[in-house]
Structure 1
């Protein structure tokens, strides 16, 4: 929806985090003087009042009736479209849109690569941008990775390529990207989507609804691979013997060995798959991925994703704060199987089961598991059902206590691994704040670990 289509409409913004702020700035610059209502909290209302714009009204948490009074509501991604008040207002004619839809409406025909997944989408997005820049292409790295699309609307210089990370809250608003990438699917965000099926349909909308010209899919993820059926887009596969795939420590393109994965700065088999996905997307854009593959060696890993903070007193500290599912915690443990590991798990309880994690640690026990957070007791209860655990299991009052217990469990040294398998809600603002606190507790500078390399235009 173009700004001109919003002129004269009764218009509201719902949510005033970073996305909501970007939406207000965008709408006010395009529609000066038009009445706007912002649904926000009291502190945010005070901030907006300081703008001294008499056409902006602030209101608190809206009811269905409140929302139904508007023709268009620009909704922040974190607010579920499945909330009863949103559904009721929509039934009465209110149209809900997000910043993603507004951006695509004003950027038809640009060369864009959109990436989604339950896990790995940030790394793959950043790696695609890194490879494009290594080819001398002016590239924007934006979206869910840390820069809302609406913050780019007034850029005077335009990139040749847009690489856009998308959460499941945004994928259904993508419109005709050049390349759409879906890496994997695991249960997550069920509190937002309401069910696993709704989450899958929203996540896979990037493939099924966006009308992308090229689609990149993971042959080793059956549910994702099945999306290829009936697509009119050209499908490009990774993790397949005829395309980009890994065997042992070697990266292959078909039968051609390309490079040793141990030379790359990202540990783990899942990151080998991420490299394959990024190179497949490069090929889908029509570039020479074989020539660009060696540039992956100079990629700087993203913060809070299996991030090595450093070593103190013989203990290495790994920050995987972005881990918000038990499957991510399993992948993290696989990366450090050769070392004694004390893993910190638990956080906000979304009701996910930990059976797969319990099965994994039963077969591959770490040195210690420290459970914490809202679901820590439930995780510990599940792990106590393991007949012969082979690991020390304790519960911690908070993150500082968990780190202390992990240190005590590693008298001969090893790895303290923060890979919570759960969100940070309730205790921390987000996974970044949790990762920063972990770094501080472990004796490292939290300000030195949080910058996302390559974010924005370069």
Structure 2
């Protein structure tokens, strides 16, 4: 759907966060005389009213009846289309689209393909893969945009010019690509684990929505992780119009031990690439496969990965205080991600902080792994903390770890410090790892705010640790324009 197709229709926007504001700005720029209605919270209504737009009606009652009064509702990604009021309105004929769909609608090329656009999704690793993709292309002098779910809404760079687009998409946005009516040039899927079940309603629907990027959007090339069982099956079932390329297997980009390979050709040891954990360096293989699919010489660009600046809140080492290293993995929202964080720090004495918003994810496999792979200390916290604590209490004796609980992050940090102080410090040193395996909703607006609070509690500057490098459009890794606020 193109923005011009909204002209003269009954159009509303739903949500006044950054994505909602970007959608409003894009529609108003292209359709200055178009009446619009904005549905938002009472707290946001004042900011929307302050725009002084006489053609913008601001309402706080996004009921089924009100939504049904519009032909098109442009909704923010965090608003689930499976909410009852949205389902009722959709049944009555209201079309729900997101900013991603509108952006793709403006980018149709030959054969309906958005040339140079590489979209990346997956339960974990999508942000790092997308950022690596942009970093490596820019290292080769390719003018590249880094945008999407990573922190810069696509509609904020609607009129930007780039040779390549590195676009991160969440499961909230992947269906919008197909709705845009334009095929991505390249689509990357890193892996699949249950997540966001409250938004999607079920694990089955989460997988279906996540994979819409390759099943419904029909990209020219799908880059898939050969090590993921679901993707291994999916790769044999895609539309013939989509070429499938694999990473993580021996005929493509893969790791043998720590050495990066393209087929049988060894390139270099990745241990000096600033990506914590071997699983994280697997994202480099995904990025290189995508670069190759875009038509660039990935082998030439690969060594530039050594200059990559890791993203914040993803196994981010903040520094040391009083002989304790602090690691911020606030983006961890699944038990699987927490297990990966433990693997990275298995040589250290770890106090692990887990828990947060309860999405109903199953922690039983995590608890079972704690029988043999537990850190020295586990502190549970947050809404699902008691549920996790009960599971871990059954295996704590066998696993030999100190199990403690706290109501919130501040209490968890204090408990971790106390637990580590109860015994002599090992030669390898102590580390406090916040890898919650759960969302931040409730006490925090998002994982970024949670990560900043963790930094503050550890004695670090919360603002200095949060900048995402390279957002926007740039021809090199030193010229990226800062994104709009």
Same fold (TM over 0.5): yes
Specify the alignment match of 2:183 in structure 1: 176
Q: How far apart are the structure 1 equivalents of 2:216 and 2:187? A: 11
8 Å contact 2:19–2:76 — kept in the other structure?
A: yes
Specify the alignment match of 1:56 in structure 2: 56
Specify the alignment match of 2:16 in structure 1: 16
1:203-214 aligned within 5 A:
203-214=210-221
Q: How far apart are the structure 1 equivalents of 2:199 and 2:91? A: 19
RMSD, matched Cα: 1.1
Which one of 126, 139, 148 corresponds to residue 143 of structure 1? 148
The answer for unaligned runs of 5 or more in structure 1 is none
Q: How far apart are the structure 2 equivalents of 1:203 and 1:121? A: 12
Q: Helix, strand or coil: the match of 1:420?
A: coil
Offset, 1:41: 1.3
Specify the alignment match of 2:473 in structure 1: 457
Offset, 1:267: 1.3
Which one of 308, 311, 318 corresponds to residue 299 of structure 1? 308
C-alpha offsets along residues 48-71 of structure 1, whole Å, 9 cap, x if unaligned? 211222211111131111111001
Specify the alignment match of 2:119 in structure 1: 114
Specify the alignment match of 2:366 in structure 1: 357
Specify the alignment match of 2:348 in structure 1: 339
C-alpha offsets along residues 383-439 of structure 1, whole Å, 9 cap, x if unaligned? 011151210000012211211211222231411000000000001000000000100
The answer for unaligned runs of 5 or more in structure 2 is 110-114, 475-485
- After TM superposition, the structure 1 stretch with the greater mean CA deviation from structure 2, 205-214 or 123-132, is 205-214
Offset, 1:375: 0.5
Q: Helix, strand or coil: the match of 1:424?
A: coil
Specify the alignment match of 2:41 in structure 1: 41
Q: How far apart are the structure 1 equivalents of 2:30 and 2:77? A: 21
2:459 equivalent to 1:443: yes
- After TM superposition, the structure 1 stretch with the greater mean CA deviation from structure 2, 123-132 or 268-277, is 268-277
C-alpha offsets along residues 318-373 of structure 1, whole Å, 9 cap, x if unaligned? 00000000000000000000000000000000111111211222111201000000
Q: TM-score, normalised by structure 1?
A: 0.98
C-alpha offsets along residues 128-183 of structure 1, whole Å, 9 cap, x if unaligned? 0001001110000000000011111243xx11101100001111121311100001
Alignment: residue pair count = 456
Specify the alignment match of 1:308 in structure 2: 317
1:28-427 aligned within 5 A:
28-109=28-109, 110-155=115-160, 158-174=161-177, 175-231=182-238, 232=240, 233-386=242-395, 387-411=397-421, 412=425, 413-427=429-443
8 Å contact 2:373–2:399 — kept in the other structure?
A: no
Offset, 1:252: 1.5
Q: Helix, strand or coil: the match of 1:327?
A: helix
- After TM superposition, the structure 1 stretch with the greater mean CA deviation from structure 2, 64-73 or 245-254, is 245-254
Q: How far apart are the structure 1 equivalents of 2:368 and 2:273? A: 30
